[in-house]
Structure 1
Amino acid sequence: MRIGELSERSGTPVPTIKYYLREGLLPRGERTGPNQAHYGDEHLHRLRLVRALTDVGGLPIATTREILARVDSPEPPITHELLGHAMHVLPPATKGGSTADAEDHERVRALSERRGWQIHPEGRPSADLAEVIATYRRAGHLLDDDALDGYAATMEQAARVDLDVIGRVTGTDEILESAVVYTVLGDTLMAVLRRLAQANESARRSGAAPQDG
């Protein structure tokens, strides 16, 4: 396909594609003339990955280039490593400095042990959870273990859905793209669905009719 078709199929403006080419984020097409090149499906997949990392994930160009170099290495990472790397480079789920204390981190470790989770106890997601627990505590709303386990069980089901969806693709670029999109947009999706479910559950418990707003 020509660059115009690549632009149309990917929804990416031609100047943006040319910028990605200059930055080395997109491989050069096969030359067919002095000012013409042919692009294949591999360019379309890579372009979608670049946009997922930069537009959806909010990653800078330099970080995106590092990730692509990892993907294109002679021994590309396996799916589990790809997912872990995606989680590591995406913006943190919490903002601000570290305020969690040892007890907050211990509660995360205990939760992981109760649930049988195979996670790194000192990884960023674990630290993010400790921060959330600390924020609940400072707000005067202790998140007890029963509530924490209930939320964790819900997220286990959500994670199974995520991995089932991601498991439908096989290409390295497509796997990483899906991981980024379903993690970043999935957070928003679950937040919106939660509010809808809360409204439904409140109406069910009170016997009230649905309300706008």
Structure 2
Amino acid sequence: MDASIVADSSIVNYYAPYKAKLEAEMNRIVGYADNHVTRNRNAPESLMGNFFADALLWKGKQLDQEVQASFATKDGIRADLNAGNITVGNIFEVMPFENVVSILTLSGRDMLRLADYMVKTGGQPVSGITLVIENGKAKEFLIQGKPINPDAHYKLVTYDYLANGGDYITFFDKPVTRKDYNQLLRETLMEYVSDLTKQEKHVQAQLDGRVQIIK
């Protein structure tokens, strides 16, 4: 195929209205970021990771008030957010996959397995969780500010790809309960940003020490 092939005008005219509608939706502004919300796979936490996990926890608590924490992975976040207007298309770039929100009830022992995974991988995006890593071990691991009780149960929100064992995750293999929702992760991010906008707020991602590595 090269420039010598002429487009069929009847086909172009057929899809042009749909193309224009799609472009208008992708360019729709849903919010505003005060700073460049960046990823960093080599750091224990990042601006984008914190934003992403906070949005996930926000939705998780809407779906189930007992949800205490959220968990994602660095590799699942596919783009940064530039400072300035945030469009629907920007959110699609961050989360291009059709993943849905999942809420799991986990034993305290499985939560400790989650901590071990975070230690081995140098931290992952979380909210509602505090982890301090020292000398390759979890020195402190808290959920909502409290130490994990191995015999207790905890509700955590994530998404189906991870709940199914994606990114080499094994600690979700025996949840006490699991519920998948008809709620795309991408829609969750858009709703979170739109809610901030309705409150006349901007995305203001910050590093807050929720995951720290002490060498």
TM-score, with structure 2 as normaliser: 0.26
Choose between structure 1 and 2 for higher RCO, CA contacts under 8 A separated by at least 6 residues.
2
Which protein has the larger Cα radius of gyration, Structure 1 or Structure 2? 1
Q: Which has the higher helix share?
A: 1
TM-score using structure 1 length:
0.27
Q: Structure 1 or 2: larger strand share? A: 2
